[in-house]
Structure 1
Amino acid sequence: MADGNKGYTLIELVIALGIFIIITSGVLILLNGIAMTDTKEAAKSVDAILEKLRLDTMAKGSKSYLHIYYYGNGIYMKVSNEQNSALAELDSDSGKRIGRKMSVYYWENGGTEKLLESDESIAISFNRSSGSFSSNYSSIKFTYSNRSSVIKCIKETGRHEVN
């Protein structure tokens, strides 16, 4: 203040505002990328467990079910010998958390898209003899905001892929 400088110039304010805008837009892009990563990671986790479950069913012959369900504020998956979700004891302690703040949709063969509700689960299993799906789901979609990842299931062969 001794040299007569009494404040910021307009140029200094514009530069500071520009820096703030650049930093804010970078954070928003990063957060959007994290949301997309969550849907991809959830789909990849389920896909890996499906492949393991298929191979185990064909090799060991014991029928197991992969349950995908909501619990609290997260989405979980759990492999259980029980098809009924009440008997499978679906909770956060025994299941593996695969996502948060996202929606799960599913299609049954020949059906329309349905939203997985908090009081239900998707139970997926395979046939021992052929490795085909014994459950009737053709696709499972994980969605957050406008981003989504889909697992397509081919009933006859038991194959599945992440898109």
Structure 2
Amino acid sequence: MVSEWGPQMCCFHPKALDDLHNKGKHMALEQFLSNRVDSEDDEYKAALVKNLAMRLAELHEVNEFNNKQAAEQALRLYQTLMDKYSRPSAVSILVVPFIYKLFRELPARHEESKDAAIREFMKWRRGTDYSNDAHYNRLVERIGEVFEIIRHPFLAILRETGIYKG
């Protein structure tokens, strides 16, 4: 497994991490058992399997942390981009440009920023992608929550007037 990545690079879909572990475990046991006679005591094999299981538990913790960090970084990118696009302007005191910005421009910018955030998240990911990805789904959900706050008409008016900084 070390040949694939080190712990600092561990940012996998949880199932991909398990798949990689199973592959590495199989290879380690195959190599270990190839030099043994069938009649030898299997306490060493049991110890190896136990050590590999402990290592997997450690890697799951690192993987969870790295996935959360990647999602947070992607969300920060989204927020930075959307803050830039929703920055107050003098033209926004006019109703028509404000409505255009709120209902036409921001949704388009939202999609661009969302795509950039997802690319950022996936840049950190290693291994096979699977459906039902809790980290990815939570990122998309949080992006949606942030966008609903940004495009809320009352908060948008307060932001345009400089009263609300959120």
Q: So what's the TM-score if we normalise by structure 1?
A: 0.41
Q: So what's the TM-score if we normalise by structure 2?
A: 0.41
| Larger helix proportion of the pair | 2
| Larger strand proportion of the pair | 1
